[in-house]
Amino acid sequence: MAADIIDGKAFALDLRGRIATLAADFTARTGRKAGLAVVLVGEDAASQVYVRSKGKATVEAGMASFEHRLPVDATQAELLALVEALNADPAVDGILVQLPLPTHLDEQTVIATISPDKDVDGFHVINAGRLAVGQPGYVPCTPLGCLMLLKDRLGSLSGLNAVVIGRSNIVGKPMAQLLLAESCTVTIAHSRTRDLAEVVRRADIVVAAVGRPEMVKGSWIKPGATVIDVGINRVAGTEPGKTRLVGDVDFAEASAIAGAITPVPGGVGPMTIAVLLRNALVAAFRNAGLDLADDAI
Ligand code: NDP
């Protein structure tokens, strides 16, 4: 039987609607809009597209978007000075520095300079530590979006076997922490994992965050498992000169065996920006000293 398709686009749209309602509530209570600042260094084409769509989505949610562009040859000192100015600006609740940075800049130092209370990407070591010990903080947007889709589909995740393929600080590690906090039995697989197919076969939940087109085969999937495909890979299309996006999972094969699966595109991708807005709004409520229920968004 074919798997159910987990519609990340529809879920993200609904989430953005709920965020807009709460953002209006925030404005009514404080007399100002929740504010998200995005910093872009250089002219990288993909980063420009991301920054534009983040700004547009922020405004659509009724929040203030502050876009800061620095030239590709900006110095580390200039970038850090901008981050510190944003840390001090009361109109800015969340700060996102678009990665990757040009190679002469030190990403770790830049991330460490962002105030942990405005770190809506959740990349600061303080927020990674808060996630590890179960304190409220900011969780990276992509894995939090994956968790929302999983809970929406499965309800309680307690006791399920989850395999996360990938151990990056941005996706794999925080995903594993989130699943552990939901009482899953978590395995983190990576490039040195032996017999990955056999490891994946034990999983009730598979999260693939590898960056290798269609690497996870249908024969690896336990019948009925829930498959979350984080991968975004551009490959040659069927027509000459055309490209198409595929995930890390062989969708055609896996969707014949899984119970539910996210498509690429239209699965995890739309969740990332929606969760960024969610994190920025949570930051606004917290920074203003206002209560927001844990499950409000
Ligand atoms: P990284 O390159 O940082 O990490 C990839 C991970 O995959 C590493 O831990 C690596 O292992 C592991 N890996 C590589 N090859 C294999 C293999 N053959 N078998 C098992 N594991 C392997 O990538 P990211 O975590 O940043 O991103 C992963 C994917 O998710 C990419 O396709 C990216 O484009 C996509 N992505 C999508 C987002 C979205 O919004 N939908 C957001 C962020 C990322 P090791 O550590 O041993 O090298």
Q: Compute and round to an integer the Cα radius of gyration of the chain.
A: 19
Burial degree of 93 (CB within 10 A; 0-12, 13-18, 19+): buried
User: Could you read off the pLDDT of 147-182 as tens digits, one per residue?
Assistant: 999 999 999 999 999 999 999 999 999 999 999 999
Domains 31-124 and 141-270 share a fold: yes
| Domain 141-270 superfamily per CATH | NAD(P)-binding Rossmann-like Domain (3.40.50.720)
Residues 37-65: pLDDT tens digits?
Answer: 999 999 999 999 999 999 999 999 999 99
The rounded Å distance from CA 24 to ligand 1 centre is: 37
Atom of ligand 1 lying closest to residue 269 CA: 41
- Whether the pLDDT of residue 256 is over 80: the answer is yes
Q: Ligand 1 pocket by C-beta < 6 Å: which residues?
A: 142, 165-168, 170-172, 189-193, 196, 209-212, 230-233, 268-269, 272
Token representation of residue 257: 């065996």
Give me the residue spans of the domains in the chain.
31-124, 141-270
Site to probe by mutation for ligand 1, drawn from 11, 173, 190 as the one with most ligand atoms within 8 Å of Cβ, is 190
Catalytic-residue membership of 121: yes
Residue 1 has pLDDT above 80, yes or no: no
The answer to pTM > 0.75 is yes
Homologous superfamily assigned to 31-124 = Leucine Dehydrogenase, chain A, domain 1 (3.40.50.10860)
Burial profile 128-156: b = 16 or more Cβ within 10 angstroms, e = fewer? bebbeeeeebbbbbbbbbbbbbbeebbee
Closest by CA position to 276, among listed 123, 136, 167: 123
Question: Distance (Å, rounded) from C-alpha 58 to C-alpha 61?
Answer: 5
**pLDDT > 90 fraction of the chain, expressed in percent and rounded:** 97
Atom of ligand 1 nearest to the CA of 268: 41
Q: Which atom of ligand 1 is found nearest the CA of 233?
A: 32
Of the candidates 119, 121, 204, 250, the residue annotated as catalytic is 121
pLDDT for the residue numbered 32:
98
